[in-house]
Amino acid sequence: MLQRFLLLWLILSSALALYWPDLIGENAFDPFTVAKPYLKYLIIVTMFCIGWMLPIDEIRQVGKRWPTVILGTTIQFVTMPVLAFLFGRLAGLEGGLLVGMVMVGCVPGAMASNVLTLAAGGNTSYSVSLTTLATLISPIAVPLMMKFLSGFMEGEAAELLGGDTDNSVFIDASINLFLWVVLPVVSGFLIGRNYPQFESRAKIIGATVANLTILIIIAVVVGNSRDVLFNITWYLILALLLTNIGGYCAGLMGGSAMQLPEAMKRALTLEVGMQNAGLGAVLAGALFANHDAVKVAPALYTFGCMLTGTILASYWSMSGRADTLLESEPHFDNGNLPGELDD
């Protein structure tokens, strides 16, 4: 029930966090502000559960279809940061709001894309492979793209990212992503393989815990950004929406360029457009603790990509299931892409 109505629960929990002082009282106990220091531990728990639930076959699939996985992940880590930055600048965003937009574009794909790919009749195995690789390389890819885009920023946004000489933000981002994301995922995966007798139970418990922590993380971010959210500009919402739609288009066009079958194109489209904005919000809180504006864009994007992703998956579901058989995928002889010749 939690997974099925995740978007609804996300709206309800975030609305509760936003209006908590009005409902309970200004001086009443606020669980959302109290929980702020513990967000990174929730990310760790989520990633550990994801690693535990990751079947070993998905790891094998990354190796079997490495050209499509690498190219798909490259599309995501190149197009999404650039789209987020460009639309942020076109919307006139500055300072923390612009940095938050960049954070949205730079983080890896969301695990929710795997669920929506299944609902859309897409190739779930390919979706999981993309998410897995993006997650594992995030300590390198995310800081690199942040550093690259920081060279095009000025004013407060450039100062937040350390200017031209201070790389501490990018180093901290890399360390945090390794400790919060890669290490828990690998640990969960290894423990799951050593205790296969708990696999069925782990899938049920892990999925529930992962979804619950996502709800808590976004609610806490919303609860600690009330002042900024109440004064939010429609330009930010428009920039986020265009980034999201642009990501879907990039995934769809990239899949067509790679001559992927329909099922894999659907998976790539959802993977590129949907970002792990919850991780982005927590990472922004750790890197820019005194700038709540940075966390606003990731928090809002969580709503946006869940909503548009659900709509897109529903449309594809009603239009008919695509062929999800592995045999329908393009064959790569010696790792060559379609149209390439052996040496």
Point out which residues pair with 109 in neighbouring strands. Answer: 275
By the 8 A CB rule, do 240 and 297 touch?
yes
Report the range of poorest mean pLDDT among 84-88, 121-125, 245-249. Answer: 121-125
Which residues make Cβ contacts (< 8 Å) with residue 34, sequence separation at least 6?
none
Stretch 135-160: mean pLDDT: 91
Q: How far apart are CA 203 and CA 235, in angstroms?
A: 40
Q: Is the pLDDT of residue 238 over 90?
A: yes
The CA distances from residue 327 to 119, 126, 248, 317, in Å, are 20, 13, 25, 21
Could you tell me the pLDDT band of residue 338, with boundaries at 50, 70 and 90? very low
Point out which residues pair with 275 in neighbouring strands. Answer: 109
Q: What pLDDT, on the 0 to 100 scale, is given for residue 322?
A: 57
Rounded to the nearest integer, the mean pLDDT of the chain is 84
More confident residue, 260 or 193: 260
Q: Is the pLDDT of residue 326 over 50?
A: no
Q: What pLDDT, on the 0 to 100 scale, is given for residue 274?
A: 92
Q: What pLDDT, on the 0 to 100 scale, is given for residue 325?
A: 41
Report the range of poorest mean pLDDT among 11-25, 210-224, 254-268. Answer: 210-224
Q: How far apart are CA 125 and CA 141, in angstroms?
A: 23
Report the range of poorest mean pLDDT among 73-77, 118-122, 307-311. Answer: 118-122
Could you tell me the pLDDT band of residue 236, with boundaries at 50, 70 and 90? very high
Q: Is the pLDDT of residue 336 over 50?
A: no
DSSP string across 117-169: HHHTT--HHHHHHHHHHHHHHHHHHHHHHHHHHHTT--HHHHHHTTTTT--HH
pLDDT over 70 percentage in the chain: 90
Could you tell me the pLDDT band of residue 92, with boundaries at 50, 70 and 90? very high
Q: Is the pLDDT of residue 330 over 60?
A: no
Q: Is the pLDDT of residue 324 over 50?
A: no
pLDDT in tens, 149-200: 998 998 888 888 876 667 888 899 999 999 988 898 889 889 888 887 777 7
pLDDT in tens, 278-313: 888 889 888 988 888 898 899 889 878 888 988 898
By the 8 A CB rule, do 69 and 133 touch?
yes
By the 8 A CB rule, do 138 and 108 touch?
yes
Task: Give the DSSP letter of residue 5.
Answer: T
Task: Give the DSSP letter of residue 340.
Answer: -
Q: What pLDDT, on the 0 to 100 scale, is given for residue 9?
A: 86
Domains of the chain, start order: 36-318 (1.20.1530.20)
